Structure 1
Amino acid sequence: MSMADSYRAKKHTVLLVDDEPDILELLELTLLKMGLEVDKAGNVREALTKLAAHRYDLCLTDMRMPDGDGLQVVQYIAQNNLDVPVAVITAHGNMENAVTALKAGAFDYLAKPVSLDQLRALVKSALNLPHAAPSSGKALLGTSPAMQKVRDLIERVARSQAPVHISGESGSGKELAARLIVQSGARRDQPMVAVNCGAIPETLMESEFFGYKKGAFTGADKDRDGFFQAAHGGTLFLDEVADLPLAMQVKLLRVIQEKRVRKVGATSEEPVDVRIISATHNDLAERVRQGKFRQDLYYRLNVIQIQMPALRELREDITAIVQHTLDRLRDGSPAQFSAEALHALQGYNFP
């Protein structure tokens, strides 16, 4: 069964919201060819009326309309807890609107002029969202309010394509949080490429991230894909992103904005579809103030922030965490902590 036949069988319906008939027609024709059913609204008021009366599998709205803007549609869906992923269409170069919409709960965005390939990729991701978070062998331990807040955030951002920045001290579970976001999201069956930005020599960064063409430099005896190509369709996890040199930050920002990469030695760019999740144990905002991290890149990476609590902030979870660790290490042998040991651990101010 083709993808279009599959969508027809499931009768997926998309609501398009735009006041320009030519754009509505282009989007409608593309979605109909994908086997989707389409409903249309020409303004914000009509869109909200339709959302209140019908169930949709995706809403795609322009940001500028005669009686308001697409942000009102995003906010209406979020405030009424509608299970509808919503994406916004923004003017080319207006990243501020896109980021604002993502922070408000939008699933993703498209920039004008709309790339039909990017539209198809967005639709596929939106319709691939799980109705419930899949179970996983690994999970964040603890029932404290701080840990529950992290779990709730992970569940919410998993249903979005918005960039996520995870901050926290070393060992606080930043990469585990990133993997849980991926496992609960639309890209769960696609590759997740984890990169330690601090472990790559500056001279190799561009070729490692973007790939290279044969003959681009001494030793380049064949074409090679980079991290972005390897993560195409999936997720790129940039660990210790604060360690990126400023020259690389400029290039990374352009790729995130344009969704295209140019291999070292290539004369043309190629499209890439990746979700960016970043992490660091540094205070990234402070690095911006120090001039060590670009403010525009920080703005693009830090759309949604998750702060991982340190162990000393999880005293009520210490017992569960240390017992889980002991169970993993004891290899079937009977072992447990004494009450005195647990009391000492709960009172310890973990540095």
Structure 2
Amino acid sequence: MTTKRSVSSALVVDDEPNIVELLRITLEGMGLEVSGAHSLAEAQARLATGLPSLVLSDLRLPDGSGIDLVRHLHEKHPQLPVAVITAYSSADGAVEAMQAGAFDYMSKPIELARLRHLVAAALKLNNPQNAKHDATDRLVGDSPLMQQIREDIRKLARSNAPVHITGESGTGKELVARAIHDSSLRHDQPFVAVNCGAIPEGLIESELFGAEKGAYSGATQTRQGLFQAANGGTLFLDEIGDLPMLMQVKLLRAIQERVIRPLGGSREISLDLRFISATHRDLGAMVDAGTFRQDLLYRLNVVQLHLPPLRERREDIPQLVDVILQRMNGPGSGSPATLAEEVMHKLLEYDFPGNVRELENLLERSLVFPDKNILETGKAPAHFQNEEQPPVPRATRGESGVARALDDAEAALLRSMLEVAAGDAAMAAQQLGISPQSFALRMARSSAGSPE
């Protein structure tokens, strides 16, 4: 007795018969049953007789656009993976198709190795086993905003479309990027995070794209870049707004053509990457100011995911506090610390300009410095009080105008860095390159002052 084997199928839609035949031969070699269509109407007729396992469609058809087919299938059959083929590698149509719901795209002339990879990935989407990879449970909070973000991540996990994450500092952009990666078919491949603002400008190209031996002074061996390290997986470009203009051009080509050329190299390396970028800056305003390329933004911002600040989901604060305290307490350390009710009320009223990161810092400081502990004491930290902060004292009459200006500038810098560090004095001191003791003394001096 023989068991009937389920065979995957594909519908290929292209007005060029030789393209349909090439794809048919390749896909049949992968064990698929293939049917072809040369127009939008013919494709609709074939779909009416039964759904295939995947659809490959050209963007330009004699009786319409492949994007219309993508939209129709995404609306009626959102689980069916659709990939588009375009002869215009830099065309806006590929981006528009992915925004309409396409799983992926590839350019003509077709690279058979990439085609096989794309088809294999599309078929995995229809495998029920892959539905188990849902990493959204790591996002804490049951507010409607967080529930929507989890749902968006699940949808994004079924696509290779570039994602651009926006939100204030401390809202968890890298955490969300990792959740997208770990929920996707690439979950068993590398996730490489790059802080674009932390790499010196002179090293960015070699860090990202790699460098051949002898490409620059000190390059004693061939060096793999972060793009190659992430190949097959996801590359997370954090603080993308800090990327210099020259590198923006090279990044655009890497995303658009899916190839890179190492510094000093003569050959190009093909990429199979999911691109996720993030920033707390307004890239639209940067485009208007001429400091960020509009075409790069268009390529990165295929799908935008905005993370709300903590003040817009205050109902999640108690749950966040519980999770953070449990993590800080560590396994086998007994019951975690808890907050007094009046302190929790203060937390719920506070706007948290540093968002979840500031909340974490606050709770950690409370455990490290018991004399300033807000846990179980009912004593809220100073910046939770509603009292007005005393003004910065003016310099004494005996000081010169220059000395006064220097003191005022130092005081303003210290306060600014403390605010950026969400009240973490040690972090502010590190950013300024001074010791915590020196920072504390300077803060005390700027807060003091002689009466006039």
Q: Normalising by the residue count of structure 2, what TM-score does the alignment of the two structures yield?
A: 0.73
- Alpha-carbon separation, structure 2, partners of 1:306 and 1:170: 15
Secondary structure at the counterpart of residue 195 of structure 1: strand
- Alpha-carbon separation, structure 1, partners of 2:67 and 2:324: 45
- Alpha-carbon separation, structure 2, partners of 1:319 and 1:11: 50
Per-residue Cα deviation, 1:46-83 (whole angstroms, up to 9, x for no partner)? 32333344232211101111221111111111111341
- Alpha-carbon separation, structure 2, partners of 1:275 and 1:336: 41
- Alpha-carbon separation, structure 1, partners of 2:140 and 2:224: 37
2:114 counterpart (111, 115, 118): 118
- Over alpha carbons, which structure has the higher Rg? 2
Structure number with greater CO (CA < 8 Å, separation at least 6) is 1
Partner of 2:392: none
Partner of 1:49: 45
Secondary structure at the counterpart of residue 11 of structure 1: coil
Higher mean C-alpha displacement, 116-125 vs 59-68: 116-125
1:340 aligns with 2:342: yes
Aligned-pair CA distance for 1:252: 0.8
Aligned-pair CA distance for 1:185: 1.2
Is the 2:135–2:183 contact (alpha carbons within 8 Å) kept by the matching residues of 1?
no
Q: How does 1:1-351 map to 2 (within 5 A)?
A: 11-129=7-125, 131=128, 132-136=131-135, 139-331=138-330, 332-334=333-335, 335-351=337-353
- Alpha-carbon separation, structure 2, partners of 1:136 and 1:65: 39
Is the 1:197–1:240 contact (alpha carbons within 8 Å) kept by the matching residues of 2?
yes
Residue identity opposite 2:153 in structure 1: I
Higher mean C-alpha displacement, 302-311 vs 119-128: 119-128
Higher mean C-alpha displacement, 133-142 vs 305-314: 133-142
Residue identity opposite 1:282 in structure 2: R
Per-residue Cα deviation, 1:302-350 (whole angstroms, up to 9, x for no partner)? 1100001111011121111111112222334333223322222112122
Aligned-pair CA distance for 1:269: 1.3
Could you list the runs of 4 or more consecutive aligned residues of structure 1 that deviate by over 6 angstroms after TM superposition? none
Residue identity opposite 2:179 in structure 1: L
Is the 1:209–1:228 contact (alpha carbons within 8 Å) kept by the matching residues of 2?
yes
Residue identity opposite 1:198 in structure 2: G
Is the 1:323–1:337 contact (alpha carbons within 8 Å) kept by the matching residues of 2?
no
Residue identity opposite 2:291 in structure 1: K
- In structure 2, relative to structure 1, the CA distance for the partners of 1:340 and 1:48 (3 Å cut) is farther
Residue identity opposite 2:351 in structure 1: N
- In structure 2, relative to structure 1, the CA distance for the partners of 1:172 and 1:102 (3 Å cut) is same
- Alpha-carbon separation, structure 1, partners of 2:105 and 2:190: 21
Give the gaps of 5 or more residues in structure 1.
Answer: 1-7
Aligned-pair CA distance for 1:94: 4.5
Higher mean C-alpha displacement, 39-48 vs 203-212: 39-48
- Percent identity among equivalent residues? 53
Is the 1:92–1:113 contact (alpha carbons within 8 Å) kept by the matching residues of 2?
no
Give the gaps of 5 or more residues in structure 2.
Answer: 354-452
Per-residue Cα deviation, 1:76-101 (whole angstroms, up to 9, x for no partner)? 11111341110111122442101110
- In structure 2, relative to structure 1, the CA distance for the partners of 1:339 and 1:56 (3 Å cut) is farther
Is the 1:155–1:184 contact (alpha carbons within 8 Å) kept by the matching residues of 2?
yes
Higher mean C-alpha displacement, 115-124 vs 62-71: 115-124
Residue identity opposite 2:32 in structure 1: L
Per-residue Cα deviation, 1:127-179 (whole angstroms, up to 9, x for no partner)? 23364252449611112121122112111111111100001111111111111
- Alpha-carbon separation, structure 1, partners of 2:249 and 2:70: 30
Secondary structure at the counterpart of residue 193 of structure 2: strand
- Alpha-carbon separation, structure 2, partners of 1:230 and 1:94: 25
- In structure 2, relative to structure 1, the CA distance for the partners of 1:9 and 1:188 (3 Å cut) is farther
- Alpha-carbon separation, structure 2, partners of 1:93 and 1:323: 49
- Alpha-carbon separation, structure 2, partners of 1:120 and 1:240: 34
Per-residue Cα deviation, 1:233-265 (whole angstroms, up to 9, x for no partner)? 111110111110001101111111111111111
Report the number of matched residues. 344
- Alpha-carbon separation, structure 1, partners of 2:159 and 2:136: 23
Is the 1:164–1:276 contact (alpha carbons within 8 Å) kept by the matching residues of 2?
yes
Per-residue Cα deviation, 1:177-217 (whole angstroms, up to 9, x for no partner)? 11111111121111111111111111111111111111212
Higher mean C-alpha displacement, 14-23 vs 40-49: 40-49
Partner of 2:380: none
Residue identity opposite 2:45 in structure 1: T
Higher mean C-alpha displacement, 196-205 vs 75-84: 75-84
- In structure 2, relative to structure 1, the CA distance for the partners of 1:27 and 1:324 (3 Å cut) is same
Is the 1:48–1:76 contact (alpha carbons within 8 Å) kept by the matching residues of 2?
no
Partner of 2:443: none
